[in-house]
Each structure stands twice: as structure tokens, then as C-alpha cells.
Amino acid sequence: MRAPILFYLLLLLVSVGYCQQYLGEAQVPKVPKDGFYQIAITSKIGGYLVPGFTNLRIVDKANKEVPYIIRAEAPVRQSKEFHEYELERYKTNVRTELVLKNPERKTINNIHLKIRNADVLKEATLLGSDDHKSWFAIKQKFSLSSINGGNGTFEMRVLDFPMTNYLFYSFRISDSLSAPINILTAGYYESNIESGQYVEVPGKITFSSDIKKKQSILKFSFDTIQFVDRIDLKMKGKQQYFLRRASLEETRERKLKKGQIEKYQYALNEFEASSTHATQLDIEGSRFSQFQIVFNNEDNPPLELGSLQAFQLNRYIIAWLSSSNEYNLKIGSENLPAPSYDLRFFSDSIPSQIPSLTIGDVLVQKKKISADGLSIFTSKNFIWAAILIVAMLLGYIAVNLAKDVGKSSSKE
């Protein structure tokens, strides 16, 4: 009977460790209809997550995993949008004329022509006008030839010319000796640059100066580990103008030869703090519970803090949720294996604009992820304790088995 007892004890030990792999959970609001939804990864959740968010799960009311992907805002997004010009067509025995209208009188130096494929050689002229009556030369006698869009039926041809801002542009193509080419549309690409959306991560600030070292140290600490992507800093000086060398640092650990652990400051970014403008530090994906900024004052009086803010880019959990089901967001320990979902292959097919959900506070079952990313069930102490318990149990059963063998031998 001792062997079954040992088996159940080992099973209990393993099951306890497995069941406790989740550190906390939060309820996902019920959705009004089936579809994709995004859940913001706020600072409330971020303190429980490891890099890559591999310890995150969504489960339904049957405790089955729901596939998800992580979508993050880009610090800077650049996009191009095609705008068509108003187009008038005129055809004579001599030429084909296209008149384009630039209603906002934007300053331009190119026009994009969408032309059906044609193996031809055409001579053209571009003119500009402010009243549609008097026309002035912009580009004289250039050629259009070998219009071939490859696998497509048209080619987007770019016509470059000197910078102008006419209200009208006349594109005149000589067609006296051949059939005209088919110009479908004319327009321009407008580039748009947008900054990513950030959310502030609150923290505690301390500021001190060391006259002997000629340094000032600004410390910013969080209540737990947080992801930080941007830091906005504004300093004030007793003098009207200042320019100070500074460095952004975090505390790291290294093991010495004798097994001792030494803490040291590691410089993440070096910059200059100036009286002429505020400082913005982009440190995408950094993760720490505290950082510090060290100012080199040299022989100048110490600076004063104007403002300091830490931000993280908006990151979202994207998942297909059903209105007839209920879901929980679960956060596991660091050793929880990264999930592998088919959904990652179809991330481009998920719409960019989908409904958002906001979750409340995380119900904590165990402590948050620590600075080294370990919880109680992934720490070395727990692992060694588990090994010791297993060894003791094995020793106990070995001794008892030896006694049973001895008793059997004496009976024989």
C-alpha cells in the first residue's frame, strides 16, 4: 500500500504546482455580439506580465483557451493615400488634352497618371493656368513610352516637374498620327505621419543632488514592474540657459566569482538636457520597476525638476469572443509555456478598427512578477524544496521496501 500512497503524494505535489501557475485573473466584460474585440493591456495588467506577454491566457466559462494575438501601437505610423484630381478630357484631331484641377492650390512637383498598358511612343507637354484661359509652360516635349504594368492591366506613371501651385494643369498628348492612350485617372499621393497612442504610467519621484560628485539624481519608481516606451522630461535652472549631459540608467545585477550578487547602474540612454526645449526619450519595450536619470552638473548649480512623465504604448489583446459565452483573462507565472495559436497567421485579416473592452482590477492569487520575473512557484527555493520533498519520499519508500524484503527473506 505504500507505493500507491507515494504515487498520490507525488501527484498532489505536481498538481499543486500546476494549479498555482496562474498568479491572477480579471473578468472580461460580456460582449454584445460575436466578433473580434481588443482588450487594452493597461498598467494594471502590465505589472503581472513577462516580456512577450507569454504568460497571458483568455479562457471561456468551460475553462478552454481562446486564441489571441497581441497588437501594439507603432511609435510612428506613416501612410500614403491616393487622391484623384478633377479631370476634364478634350479630344481633337491633333491631340488629347487632360485638364486637372488643383482646388486647394497645393504646391506640387509631380502627378501620378494611371494609364492602361500600351506599347506606344507619345510626345506630351504640361502647362499650368490660374484661370483656365492663359496657359504657361511647365514641362515641354517629354515622351510616354512602353507603358507596361507587368502582371496588371495598367501602370502608375509618375510625371515629375518643377515645384508649382497652379489652379489648373493641362496635360497635352500628340495624337495626330495614332490612336490615343487610355489615361484612367490622375492624382497624387499624400503622406501622413501619425504618432502612436500612449498612456501614462504613474510613479513616485525623488530628486537629490550631490555637491561633491557634482551630480543630481532623479529617480522614478513604480509599485511593480512596468513596460515603459517613452519618458518626457522638463528641467528648470536657476540660470536662464543651461545644457547638461545626462544619462538614463537602470539597476542590474551580475554574479561575481565567489557567487555574490552585485548591483550596478547600466546606462540605457545618454542625452543632453537643455533650457531651450523639453526632452523626450524613446525607449520602446523597456521594463523595470525603477529608473534614474543622472545629471552631470560640473561647476554649475543643480537643476530643478519641472516635470517627469513615463508612458507606455497602447498594446491590445485581440480575440474572437462570443456573446453567448463568458471569459476571464488569466495571468500565469514566468514558466508558463508560450501559447501557439493559428490566429497569428491571419493577423493581417483582422480589421484595424474593432470594438474595445476595458477590464477592471486583477484578482490577485499570488504575488506579482518580481524584478527578476520569478514567482513563488518558479523560484529556486521552491524548486529545491520540491526536490527535497521528493527525495525524502523516495528514501522513505526505499527503506520500507528494504524492510519488507528482509521480512520476506526471514520467513523463507
Q: Which domain holds residue 309?
A: 198-313
Q: What is the C-alpha to C-alpha distance for residues 396 and 377, in angstroms, rounded to an integer?
A: 25
Look at 31-40, 182-191, 270-279 and tell me which has the smallest mean pLDDT. 182-191
Same domain, 295 and 249: yes
Same domain, 220 and 255: yes
User: Looking at the chain, how many residues does it have?
Assistant: 412
Residue 361 reports pLDDT greater than 80: no
Residue 14 reports pLDDT greater than 50: no
Same domain, 86 and 156: yes
pLDDT of residue 99: 95
DSSP state of 196: P
Same domain, 237 and 285: yes
pLDDT of residue 83: 85
Same domain, 319 and 306: no
Q: Which among 169, 194, 219 is the end of a domain?
A: 194
Would residue 35 be called left, alpha or beta, if left means φ above 0 and alpha means ψ between -120 and 50 degrees?
Answer: left
Integer CA distances (angstroms), 409 to 67, 364, 397, 399, 400, in order: 60, 56, 18, 15, 14
Task: Decide: helix, strand or coil at residue 34.
Answer: coil
pLDDT of residue 378: 46
Same domain, 115 and 186: yes
* Mean residue pLDDT across the chain: 83
Given a contact cutoff of 8 angstroms between Cβ atoms, the answer to whether 228 and 310 are in contact is yes
Same domain, 209 and 188: no
Residue 131 reports pLDDT greater than 50: yes
CATH at residue 254: 2.60.120.260
Query: Rounded mean pLDDT of 7-31?
Result: 63
Query: Rounded mean pLDDT of 28-48?
Result: 88
Look at 192-206, 216-230, 386-400 and tell me which has the smallest mean pLDDT. 386-400
Q: What is the C-alpha to C-alpha distance for residues 46 and 359, in angstroms, rounded to an integer?
A: 13
As a dihedral over the C-alpha atoms of residue 271, residue 273, residue 276, residue 282, rounded to 10 degrees, the angle is 50
Residue 151 reports pLDDT greater than 90: no
Residue 220 reports pLDDT greater than 50: yes
Segments of 150-214 assigned E as strands:
154-164, 168-174, 183-195, 198-200, 204-210
Number of structural domains (the chain) is 4
Same domain, 161 and 86: yes
The candidate with the shortest Cα–Cα distance to 353, out of 37, 51, 90, is 37
Q: What is the C-alpha to C-alpha distance for residues 93 and 251, in angstroms, rounded to an integer?
A: 79
Same domain, 92 and 124: yes
Residue 397 reports pLDDT greater than 90: no
Same domain, 287 and 202: yes
pLDDT of residue 374: 45
Residue 197 pLDDT grade (very low, low, confident, very high; cuts 50, 70, 90): confident
pLDDT per residue as tens digits for the range 284-305:
878 888 999 999 999 999 999 9
pLDDT per residue as tens digits for the range 370-385:
444 444 444 555 555 5
The type of residue at 359 is I
Query: Rounded mean pLDDT of 68-93?
Result: 82
Same domain, 119 and 41: no
Residue 309 pLDDT grade (very low, low, confident, very high; cuts 50, 70, 90): very high
Residue 388 reports pLDDT greater than 80: no
Q: Which among 297, 313, 329 is the end of a domain?
A: 313
Same domain, 90 and 170: yes
pLDDT of residue 308: 94
Residue 389 reports pLDDT greater than 50: yes
Q: What are phi and psi of 390, to 5 degrees?
A: -60, -45
